[in-house]
Structure 1
Amino acid sequence: MRASSCKLEQRSFCGLKQSSAFLSLTSWVCRTSPSANGALRAACSPPRQRLAKDRRRQASPSTMASRRVPKMTSKEGTSQCQEKHAVLLSPVGKLEISGCETGVHEIKLPRLSVLPNGTEAAMRCELSGSVTSMPEPLQQCAAWLNAYFCEPSRTEQLPLPPFHHPMLQQDSFTKEVLWTLLREVKFGEAISYQQLAERAGNSRAARAVGGAMRSNPIPIIIPCHRVICSSGQIGNYGGGNVMKEWLLSHEKLQKEKLAD
């Protein structure tokens, strides 16, 4: 049978109910002209089936996007967060803070290419925008960071802002590492990747600890800059090695001042 006749029969068959006679005719046409097989199936598919396929095709890009960028949800995951943003002008540049009424989502660091000297890095911070329009967790975050740079002794007295990032809520080794780091490695101290792995419960997971440091959504407050190599080298850092060196030097100097 010619392809054109197949197409003609295909169009006429689609209006019929799927009786046993219709199914046998459909099978015969597909065997006669294999090239018509795919088109015949698509044309004769039940409307609901075609609609479901179309919906899946339309939904796939957004589904992929949601996997790449985790959505922040409120307390029980019932609604998406109303994310707010703030910028803190600090001695190491602009710190971009994001969060909602539930907690802080992220702190984004600039990348330093030049180490600030004592004059350039005057110990002061300035919050860009209105403080009153920010959710309380962002206000607490900005206050804590301001104290870290300007009056480090006050950080122990200030409440830590609540965190609201999926990585810090779901059970995982990364979460355990980050919380262990926050609880146990204090201002002016340093720890190796190997030592932190041991404290987090897996002495063989030094490499995984490095991955957790790269994934840290709340740097400075969760002090991944205090994690260094066993050799004594400072290792890599999201804000660049220059910033990591500055933060470690800042803490060492301030700790010495407090000890005097």
Structure 2
Amino acid sequence: MYTTSIHTPVGLAVICGNEDGITSVRCSNEPVPESSFVPTILHKCARQLEEYFLNGRRFFDLPLCPQGTPFQRSVWQMLAEVPYGRTMSYMELTRRLGDEKAIRAVAAANGKNPIWIIIPCHRIIGSNGDLTGYAGGLARKKWLLEHEQIANGQLTLFS
């Protein structure tokens, strides 16, 4: 496994993976040791994340290799389908997966998403529009949602 990182407006983005693809992107408040060799795919991921933060990228073109249970991977696949600049409630996500009773499991899988921003778990909100739960902290979630709204030419979601 190889590691690199980039500075972003919301903290250090730590990118991990190998020649086959990206296994994780996470936000860190502390520097992390970087690999002496970094595969091209990690450099490509870093470049695409930089483009995202500069308002130029809405879609990512990267091979992703998140590690998780089949259920978690199904949730992450649904997350990847939430369009840039849009949000979806946990309940709506759960309904799309076919079982309203699984809302807690869906929320838990969302919280274990290993690939920050690229699998956009920040776009999932409470049914009443509240920002709820985010492994990176609610301030980061709010920033990311506002960033996407502004990049889409819309006013901020939040006052």
Query: With CA pairs under 8 Å and 6+ residues apart, which has the higher RCO, 1 or 2?
Result: 2
2:94, 2:150 → 1: CA distance?
27
Q: 1:201 to 1:140 in 2, by over 3 A?
A: farther
The 5 A counterparts of 1:23-102 are 83-102=1-20
Spell out structure 1 runs of 4+ moving beyond 6 A: none
Tell me the TM-score normalized by structure 2: 0.85
Aligned to 1:141: 45
Mapped contact 2:66–2:73 kept (Cα < 8 A): no
Mapped contact 1:226–1:248 kept (Cα < 8 A): yes
The 5 A counterparts of 1:212-227 are 212-227=109-124
Aligned to 2:97: 200
2:58 aligned residue (144, 148, 155): 155
Task: Report the alpha carbon displacement of residue 213 of structure 1 after superposing the two structures with TM.
Answer: 1.1
Q: Cα deviations across residues 157-204 of structure 1 (Å, max 9, x unaligned)? A: x52x2122321xx5x221111101102x11110000000011122222
Matched residue SS, 2:117: coil
Matched residue SS, 1:253: helix
Q: Judging by fraction of residues, say which structure has more helix.
A: 1
The 5 A counterparts of 1:160-171 are 161-167=62-68
Matched residue SS, 2:99: coil
Matched residue SS, 2:28: coil
Q: Cα deviations across residues 221-248 of structure 1 (Å, max 9, x unaligned)? A: 1000000000111101111111011111
1:200, 1:144 → 2: CA distance?
29
RMSD of aligned residue pairs (Cα, Å): 2.0
Mapped contact 2:2–2:39 kept (Cα < 8 A): yes
Q: Cα deviations across residues 23-70 of structure 1 (Å, max 9, x unaligned)? A: xxxxxxxxxxxxxxxxxxxxxxxxxxxxxxxxxxxxxxxxxxxxxxxx
User: What is the total number of aligned residue pairs between the two structures?
Assistant: 150
Aligned to 2:157: none
- Which amino acid letter does the alignment assign opposite residue 121 of structure 2? C
Query: Is residue 83 of structure 2 the alignment partner of residue 182 of structure 1?
Result: no
Query: Is residue 91 of structure 2 the alignment partner of residue 173 of structure 1?
Result: no
Query: Is residue 21 of structure 2 the alignment partner of residue 103 of structure 1?
Result: yes
Aligned to 1:36: none
Gaps of 5+ in 1: 1-82, 112-128
Tell me the TM-score normalized by structure 1: 0.54
Percent identical pairs in the alignment equals: 36
Q: Judging by fraction of residues, say which structure has more strand.
A: 2
1:240, 1:162 → 2: CA distance?
26
